Every structure is written in C-alpha cells, then in structure tokens.
Structure 1
C-alpha cells in the first residue's frame, strides 16, 4: 500500500519558496492529497476485493449477473426503509418489488474513483494558474538571502540587487497581487462548485449530508438507516433477464452486496466537513484581504508581527507609501528571506525611496 501512495509524496514536500498563504495551501495540498489518496484506495481491488457480489441461485451465470448489475446499476426500494429488518425485510431498503413502486437506483459507485480524481484536478487548478502567473518572481527576489550566514560581499551584492528591483517596481505590483487574490476567489468558488457537483452526483444527498449524520449520530446502529445506510446501501437489488430451459424469458431477481460503500460513506462524510471548513476559512481569508486593502494600519501591524526586528519607522514609511499590492510583495518577501537580511533590505529600500532614485554609492555607505 505504501508503494501505491508513494507517487503522492510530492504533495507533502515543502516548497523552497513561499508564494501563497496557508488557507490557499489547504486547497491544493491537503485537499488534493486526500482526494487522490481516496481515488487510489477505491481502485485497489487487492485490498477490498471485488466491488460487487451478487447472490443468485444459479451459480453458472453468477459472473454474468454481477457484471450486468455493475454496469447497469442496482437499486433499493424507498418504501422498504422504514420496515423492520429481519421481520418484514431482509435488509434496509430491500423488499419484493411490485409494479408501480418507486426504485432508487444506485449508479454512482461506478464513477466514485473517477469523480474524486477529477475533483483533485479541479482543486489544484487555482494553484496551477497562480504558478503560471507568478513566473518565479518571488524566487528571483529571494536570491540566496534565505540563508542567515552569507559572506559580506555576497550579502551586500544581494541587498543592492533586491533593493534596486523593489524600488523600480514599487507601485507596479498591482497585477501580481490581483492575480493572486483572483486565485483565492477561484479556490472558494471551486469548493462551492464541488459541493454542488457532489450533490448532483449523489442524487441531491450531499449538501445536507453532514447535518443528517450529526442528527442521527446518537441513534442505535440497527436503526441508523438514514443517512449512512440509505445514501450508501451495503445491500441492493438487481433484475436480470435470461432465457429459461423452455426458451421463455426468465426474470432473475438478485441481491447484490456493495463492499466499497462502507468506504465511500467515510470518504464523503470527511469531504462534507472538510469542504464546509474550506468554505469558512476561504471566506474569512477574502474578508481579511478586504480589511488589509482598506486599513493601512492593519498592514503595518501584520508586517511588524512578521518582521519584529525591522525598523518600525522604515516599515511605517513603506506601508504609508504603498497599497495592498506592494505590501503583499513585502509580506511574501518576509516569508522567504532571513529576518536579518529583511531588516537590511527594508532600510535600504527606504533610503532609496527617500532619494527618489537608487544610488548604489549611498546604499553601500549605509552598510559600512
């Protein structure tokens, strides 16, 4: 099993350069890892056996019945959910079907692994777009300043390069920040879309699935037929038509066991609570971005908290002359370079801005 999931270890690897926020990483790392792991797990027949087992008297055609029922889906009977198991019906939702009675078909189980794989791709899409738009800018800014111990000549050269780059691009980072915020919005929209997609996929059962689970948690297992067993039945029915010995059409009424549904219900319970959590966190993050854009003092406090060793006056000068876009670059820079180097770069940048032109001689004198 470890070999099966070895291909996913890249999602756990820490990136050398941070170009996004923690809430954004929940979408493309934790969520994608869970979805791809669940998809692989459901595809591993050696751990859970065949996905369907049908009970039928004639063992000669059992393989044909199982294949037919898997392809054409099985069903349960809604009127049989409230009947007593072991007395009126053999299993929840299983009863003798009469003409005109409703059937609830269970055809989703054929596609669960593929749907989870598709969801993993969609959750990674905002990250993919951001990597394309970011173009390695923050990696170029960081240079080798993430290492605290550098020779004086190397650190001075890196300071000058970084300060010069920040200075000439100051006030022109709007596109950089806007694209990132758009990706955060896209991540939130994607979560909502995924919940609606799963609700359609499961026949309208997903949007309230977690609420129903909480409501029925205290019930005894024998009576907890809704929503766990009802949405993911272990035992279903299937009708197969064949020719009998006389050449007449013969109806074969088979019971089919779906072993993977015990795993499917756990996957979708976790997904419901996780997606609700992602929606809340993403909405709070976007509101936080709005506050940052509207309140320069909040931007200043965040930078001071992130780089407490930096000059408070220098940070106040930079925040006062910048909008959210330039602040965002400074914040990401604080995440990617050593705090000592960051303090020097901030002071150097303020000196360059006060001169309104970058003077390498003046900056060199600053570091002496």
Structure 2
C-alpha cells in the first residue's frame, strides 16, 4: 500500500521558493493529493477486491455475466427503496421487475477513478498557470539570501543587486499582482465548477450529500436508513440475455454486489465537506485581499508580523509609498529570504527610495533609524 502512494510524495515536498499563499496551496497541494490518492485507492483491486461480483445459479457463465453487467451498468428499482428489507425485498431497491416500472441505472462506478484523476488535474491548473506567468521572478529576487550564514562580501553584493532591482521595478508590479489575483479567483471558480461537475456526474445528488449525512446521524438508530444507499447501492440488479440449448433466448436475472461503493460513498462525502471548506477559505482570502487594497495600515501590520526584525520606520515609509502590488512583492520576499537579510534589504530600499524622492525622509523627532 505504501508503494502505491510513493509516487505522490513529491506533492508533500516544500518548494524552495514560495510564490503563493496558504489558501492557494490548499488547492494545488492538499486537494490534488486527496484526489489522486482516492483515484489510486479505487484502482487497487488487490486491496479491495473486484469492483463487481454477480450472483447467479449458472456458475459456468458467471464471468461473462459480471463483465456484461460491469460494461452495460446495473440498475435498482425506485419503488423498492421504502419496502421492508428481509420481508418484502432482499435488499434496498431490489425487487421483481414488472413491465412499466422505472429503473434507475448506475453506471458512474466505471468512471469514478478517471473523474477523480481529471479533477486532480483541474485543481492543479491555477498553479500551473501562475508558474507560467511568474517566470521565476521571486526566485531571481531571493538570490542566495535564504542562507543566514552567507559571507559578508557576498551578502553586500546581493543587497546591492536586489535593492537596485526592487527600486527600478517599484510601481511596475501591477501586472505581477493582477495575474496572481486572477489565479486566486480561478481557484474559487474551479472548486465551484467541480462541485457542479460532481453533482451532474452523480445525478444531482452531490449538492446535498453533507446535509443528508448530518441529518441521518441525528435520527434514532431504530428508524434511520442510510440515505447514501440510493446513490451508492451495495446490491443491484442486472439482466443478461443468452441463447439456450434449444436456440431460444434466455433471460438471466442476476444480483450484483458492488463492494467499491462502500469506499465511493465515503470519498464523495469527504469531498463534499472538503470542497465546501475550500469555497469558504477561498472567499475569505479574496475578501482579505480587498481589505489589504483598502487599508494600507493592514498591509503594514502584516509585514511587521511577518518580519518583526525589520525596521518599523522603513516598513512604514515603504508601505506608505507603495500600492498593493509592490507590497505583495515585499511580502513574498519576506517568505523567501532570511529575516536578517530582509531587515537589511528593507533599510537599503527605503534609503534608495528617499534619495530619489519616492518617500519623505524621516525626521529625527519621529524616526531615528539609520539606513545602511
């Protein structure tokens, strides 16, 4: 089992350069890992057995019946859902079929593993798009400054290069930030689309999965029936037609056990709660971006919290002279270089900006910071 998931361990590795936020990573790391793991689980017959097992008196052709029923899907009878199991019907949804009665066909189980794989790819797409647009800019900014033991001569050279680069691009980072915000919006739209996709795939049942499960757990044990059995039946019916020894058409009515549905229902119930969680987190993140755009003081507080060793006066002047896009670059930079180096970079940048008239020089009564 561990060997099966070994190929996914790359998703757990921390990236050398951070170019996004925690909510963004929930989509392309945690969610992709969950979806691919579920897809692999459903493909492991050696651990969970065959996906279908049919019961029929003629055991000589049972393999043919099982293959036929797997390919052409099985069905249940809606009128038999509410009948007493063990008295009127052998299993929920299983009864003698008569002409004119409705059949509810279940063919989704053939595609569950592929659908989960497709969803994993779609959840990774915003990250892929952002990487194409980002083009390694933050990695080039970070240089070797993540190393706190960088020699003094090399650190001074890196300070000069980074300060110069930040200075000449100050005020021109709007495209960089807008592309990232677009990818964050894309993650929210994607998870909403995925919920509608699963709802369509499961016949309109996915939108209420979590609500039904919560309601079901509150019912009394003697009177409750699992609502997910209708969408993930354990036992279904299948009709197979064959020729008899005399050449006439014979009807084979088989019962088919679907053991994988025990795993399917748990996967999709978990995905319902997880996707609702992603929607809420993504919406809160976008609202947080709006607050950052509207409140420079909030941007200052975030940077101070992120880099407490940096000069408060320098940060105050840089944030006051910057828009949200420039602040975003400073924020990402604080994640990718050592705090000591970051303090020096902030001081160098503030001094360079003041010399060129971008921000007012600090008065001695307000700030005694020395910019080296």
Shorter-chain TM band: over 0.9
Q: Contact 1:126–1:186 (CA<8 Å) still a contact in 2?
A: yes
1:33-85: CA deviations, max 9, x gaps?
A: 01001101101111111110000111111111100100000011111111110
Runs of 4+ deviating beyond 4 Å = 220-224
Does structure 1 residue 124 correspond to structure 2 residue 124?
yes
Cα deviations by residue, 1:248-307 (Å, 9 ceiling, x for unpaired): 211111000001000001100110000000000000000000111111111111111111
Q: Displacement of 1:96 after TM fit? A: 0.7
> Partner residue of 2:247?
247
Output the CA distance in 1 between the equivalents of 2:160 and 2:41.
52
Q: Normalised by the size of structure 2, how large is the TM-score?
A: 0.95
* Alpha-carbon distance in 1 for matches of 2:341, 2:47: 52
* Displacement after TM superposition at 1:223 (Å): 5.4
TM-score between the two structures when normalised by the length of structure 1? 0.96
- Tell me the equivalent position of 2:292: 292
Q: Deviation of residue 366 (structure 1)?
A: 5.4
3-state SS in 2 of match to 1:237? strand
Unaligned 5+ runs, structure 1: 359-364
Are the equivalent residues in 2 in contact too, given 1:314–1:347 (CA < 8 A)? yes
How big is the shift at 1:225?
Answer: 3.7
Tell me if structure 1 keeps the 8 A contact 2:350–2:371.
Answer: no
Equivalence for 1:31: 31
Equivalent residue number for residue 257 of structure 1: 257
Aligned 8 A contact 2:108 2:202 in 1: yes
Partner in structure 2 of residue 13 of structure 1: 13
How far apart, CA to CA, are the structure 1 residues paired with 2:183 and 2:76?
42
Secondary structure of the 2:198 match is helix
SS of 2:218's equivalent in the other structure is: coil
- Aligned equivalents of 2:85 and 2:101: distance in 1? 19
Question: How far apart are 1:355 and its partner, in Å?
Answer: 1.1
Give distance in 2, aligned partners of 1:195 and 1:171. Answer: 39
Comparing 149-158 with 65-74, greater Cα deviation is found at 149-158
Question: Hey, what does 1:172 align to over in structure 2?
Answer: 172
Contact 1:234 1:259 in 2 (8 A): yes
The answer to whether the 8 A contact 1:293-1:324 is kept is: yes
- For residues 294 and 54 of structure 1, the distance between their equivalents in structure 2, rounded to whole angstroms, comes to 63
Aligned pair 1:43/2:33, yes or no? no
Structure 1 counterpart SS, 2:255: strand
- Post-superposition shift, 1:226? 4.0
Q: Report the counterpart of residue 156 of structure 1 in structure 2.
A: 156
Partner in structure 1 of residue 52 of structure 2? 52
Q: In structure 2, list runs of 5 or more residues that go unmatched.
A: 359-369
Report if aligned partners of 2:205, 2:231 keep a CA contact under 8 Å in 1. Answer: yes
CA distance in 2, matches of 1:331, 1:366: 20
Give the corresponding residue for 1:361: none
The 5 A counterparts of 1:155-304 are: 155-219=155-219, 224-304=224-304
Deviation at 1:246, TM superposition (A): 2.4
CA contact (8 A) 1:76 1:237 kept: yes
The answer (yes or no) to whether the contact 2:159–2:345 under 8 Å persists in 1 is yes
Contact 1:92 1:225 in 2 (8 A): no
The 2-side partners of 1:221 and 1:116 are apart by 33
- Whether contact under 8 Å (2:347, 2:371) holds in the other structure is no
Q: 1:199–1:207: 8 Å Cα contact kept in structure 2?
A: yes
Contact map agreement 2:234 2:262 (CA 8 A) in 1: yes
> 1:337 deviation in Å?
0.7
Q: Is the contact between residue 81 and residue 225 of structure 1 (CA under 8 Å) also seen in structure 2?
A: no
CA deviations on 1:141-179 (whole Å, 9 max, x unpaired) are 011111112211111111101100000000000011011
User: Paired residue for 1:334?
Assistant: 334
Q: Distance in 1 between matches of 2:198 and 2:15?
A: 31
Contact 1:119 1:194 in 2 (8 A): yes
1:319 aligns with 2:338: no
**1:2 and 2:2 correspond:** yes
CA contact (8 A) 1:93 1:236 kept: yes
Aligned pairs, number: 361
Distance 1:63 1:232 in 2: 23
| Deviating more after overlay: 42-51 vs 220-229 | 220-229
Give, in whole Å, the separation in 1 of the partners of 2:225 and 2:244: 37
